[in-house]
Amino acid sequence: MKKIKTAPHAPTEFVVTRSADDHAVFEIYPFEPGYAITLAHPIKRLILSSAVGSAPIAVKIEGAAHEFDSIRGVVEDAARLIINLKNIRFKITGNEDRIELVAAFKGPKEVKGADLAAQGVEVVTPEARFASVNEDGELKVSIILEQGMGYVPSEEIRDLIPEGYLPLDGVFGPVRKVNYSIEKMLVEDNPNFEKIVFEIATYGQIDPKEVFRNGVYTLFKQTEVLSSALGVENAGAFGARGGDRDENFKTLLLRIEDLGLSARSHNCLTRSNIIYLGEVALMDESELSKVKNLGKKSLDEIKEKLTQVGYPINETLPDDLAKKLKARIIELKG
């Protein structure tokens, strides 16, 4: 028997059907007819535009005064070295936004991406060619790596780097492709419900699941002002609560990975064996700031997240709740 609806059906399933370091497939369903593309397209756009990656933004080549100069004892001129450098994919593994790495090579040597790895920097394209140094040649380069989003032309970078460096176009995007398809599916007696199938591939600098999480979080943040202005309470995956605050610790036992934090903040917490939101809610700001490698930007992000879900960082939990929560977390981490 058909019914007249007063609210659209909300999807209930999120499934990871394929997962690797640089490729993953996600399915979300079921959606009312026409609703899937309404959500899928903005998420795709935000994944591509807001994902944070690492890229070289400047280089200094000893013996090269400008980008069209030649380098004694090196096959490539400065322009070719810059092109090769842009094709090497770097990943800043620490908590820094910017790293300067210095490398020197004596010939004969074929310099590849792996030769540019350094402390705090991983090269995810180790076989990418950088330079050919002749037998009597020597190559010394200084490279500035930065974290960023999207594409930033060299003209905008020029004022951000030290004198003597050649500015590079910042190609930060870590996502190689994002595709989605909309499939029909049967719900009860209606064959017109829809499923979104997302396929995400990266260059290996970031996990596709983190890319997807960041895209969804960005969508949430872009609409947050509307929720606040119109009094719409978010009851979704970001943990806003309704009803009894402490019912089964539902919000406090959300896992850190489900909070939509940036990769840096997420990694700092999990490396310190902090798995649940409740563990952070039990800390005060001074305790949280002592988490290893947690910088001010990450601290501010976590404080903002705790405020969003209703547990501001300096709001002390009631003693009975804190005691039960600690016991439950110990049990879960067992």
> What is the C-alpha to C-alpha distance for residues 253 and 300, in angstroms, rounded to an integer?
21
| pLDDT band at residue 4 under the 50/70/90 scheme | confident
DSSP 299-317: HHHHHHHHHHTT--TT-PP
| pLDDT band at residue 323 under the 50/70/90 scheme | confident
Proportion of the chain above pLDDT 90, given as a percent: 55
The 3-state DSSP class for residue 87 equals: coil
By C-alpha distance, which of 52, 128, 138, 148 is closest to 86?
A: 128
At residue 231, does pLDDT exceed 70? no
What phi and psi values does residue 212 have, to the nearest 5 degrees?
-65, -45
Give the mean pLDDT of 278-297: 89
pLDDT at residue 236, rounded to an integer = 40
- Residue 33 tokens read as 């007819």
Yes or no: say if 166 and 82 are a contact pair by the CB < 8 Å rule.
yes
At residue 138, does pLDDT exceed 70? yes
**Bridge partners of residue 183, in order along the sequence:** 195
| pLDDT band at residue 325 under the 50/70/90 scheme | confident
For the chain, give the mean pLDDT. Answer: 87
* List of domains in the chain: 1-51+174-232 (3.30.1360.10), 52-171 (2.170.120.12), 234-334 (1.10.150.20)
pLDDT at residue 180, rounded to an integer = 97
> What is the C-alpha to C-alpha distance for residues 264 and 80, in angstroms, rounded to an integer?
33
Q: Would the pTM of this model clear 0.85, i.e. be above it? A: no
pLDDT (tens digit per residue) in 160-213: 999 999 999 999 999 999 999 999 999 988 899 999 999 999 999 998 988 998
Q: Characterise 79 by phi-psi region: left (phi > 0), alpha (psi -120 to 50), beta (else).
A: alpha
Contacts with 248 (C-beta within 8 Å, 6 or more apart), sequence order: none
> What is the C-alpha to C-alpha distance for residues 42 and 23, in angstroms, rounded to an integer?
20
| pLDDT band at residue 247 under the 50/70/90 scheme | very low
At residue 1, does pLDDT exceed 80? no
